[in-house]
Structure 1
Amino acid sequence: MNNECVIGIDIGGTNIRIGRTDENDQLVDFERVSSKETFKDGNISESLTEVLKNYLDKYCKNVQVKQIAIGIPATLSSDRKQILQVPNIKGMDGLFLGKELEENLGIPVVLEKDVNMLYYWDKYDKKLSDEGVGIGVYIGTGVGNAIFINGKPLAGKDGVAGELGHIPMIGGTSQCGCGNLGCSECYASGWKLVELKEEYYPDVDMNDLFVKKSNDTVLKNFVDNIACVACAEINILNPDSIIFGGGVINMKGFPKDYLEERLYVHARKPYPAESLEIQYSEDKVDNGVKGAIIFAKTLLEK
């Protein structure tokens, strides 16, 4: 029996999701704990250490944990050691969280952007080649973006490459949560969809929005905005593979055919328009954890 494992963690604004590998490298012992409850006192490292110690005591008493990988909903330094800025969790900005957890637990800990963890899983699930350029566009509350080159995420000089949601839109005046005006996230995100629902469809349940209203001009324009934003990246990178995912894309009745139609409209002709290969991620609660596990295992293989 294999008495070694790796642990994957996906930290979100609502929940912390945790899982580990079993002797067959499969995800087991998946758990969720409340982010708000865990981090309510602002002592991030100490609070997360306590959560992990409880998890280790419960599931890993007779197992050696070789690596812990954590997906963070934040911008990270290029070496992935420091958390630069987190929109939805107070007290994380500036932390060297991996180092602090390593010191507290005696286990190697690595950090990566949560959206890259999602793409690690999707790349594995879709059996995508590591060769060339792959992108993931995840429309959730905001616009998540993963750019992978030859199987590795693009970090950039400061670590913040792939901020697709913060491309400035010409003529845009809406206030973005990042502080700038007119970011693409103001027009093609989940929080924008909530605004549209409240303004135009107050009597329609959010879950039924696309089922009942996908042919309305307001929602067609919203889907076109997503295509326009994605094509900014597609036209620059000419990617080998393109994955769309996130809560909005996976809403019941979301018009994927119309999205692809508009992607073709906005893509440069003849290429990359004629060679677009679009795939869709299933929005499952453990995708980020499974991606973190895959990332952890790649580090151990080096």
Structure 2
Amino acid sequence: MAANRTLAIAASSILVGLIVLGLKFLAWWLTGSIALYSDALESIVNVVTAMGALIAVRLAQRPADASLPYGYHKAEYFSAVLVGVMIIVAAILILREAIMGFLAPEMPTAPMQGLAISGVATAINLVWAFVLLRQGNAAKSPAIAADGKHLMTDVISTFGVLAGLALVYATGWAQLDAVLAALVALNILWSGWGVIRDSVGGLMDVAVPGETQKTIREVIATSADGAIEAHDIRTRQAGKMTFIDFHLVVPGAMSVDDAHGICDRIEGQLRKAVRDVQITIHVEPEDKAKHAGIVVL
């Protein structure tokens, strides 16, 4: 059910993006504002990245097979990197338009209609950005979360554009329109860099957050009765999946069956504490103890 909901959210993003795109281009067509044009260009990126997110989410849900035994979870990180690249491309296009507009400024027309239509589009984006961020975090979906972060950046920059355009109409300074577009582009560049940075971390097998690591260590320490210690604990995040592996030291005279029972108990408790987890435990005799890591309580 959670997987189907994530897919439905990803598909709905395309529809929402197309609606907002149409509204923003209408606002630009009515006003001729470079700042609103830059805002509309970013909405094209929203639609393209929503399509990429849908493909990535669908692919990430495929079960592991012989060619990818650890699953397809990292597919979402590739989508998130694509989002970041597209954001940067949009920012470059906007900067180009801003420079041209600054050199040959023109006063926007139809102020009230353009501002009103862009305001409606922004309100839609704001609501949907919250939906994406909530679902992305709940489902541990990097693609959905990246889409939500980008959309929230779009909302913030559009608020700035609308406020600035009101100032353009009030002062009559046409070049301010181009300056606003340039500021939007710089904000978008920063957003794109953040998305790429976070996604590359996932591709590089970044460890789980510190709070989750603390939980994992506590669970191992309190559920490994009969063992001596656990060391070389490693974690990594791949989309919604958390991978944990460590060495468990047990008494040398312990039977394989008893050691296996301890491992089963630890795995059971870890699965209760950490959702969507894959665990690998390497059992070692006591002469392999490092006297470091976790001493079993």
Q: TM-score, normalised by structure 2?
A: 0.24
- The higher radius of gyration belongs to 2
Q: Which has the higher helix share?
A: 2
Q: Which has the higher strand share?
A: 1
Q: TM-score, normalised by structure 1?
A: 0.24
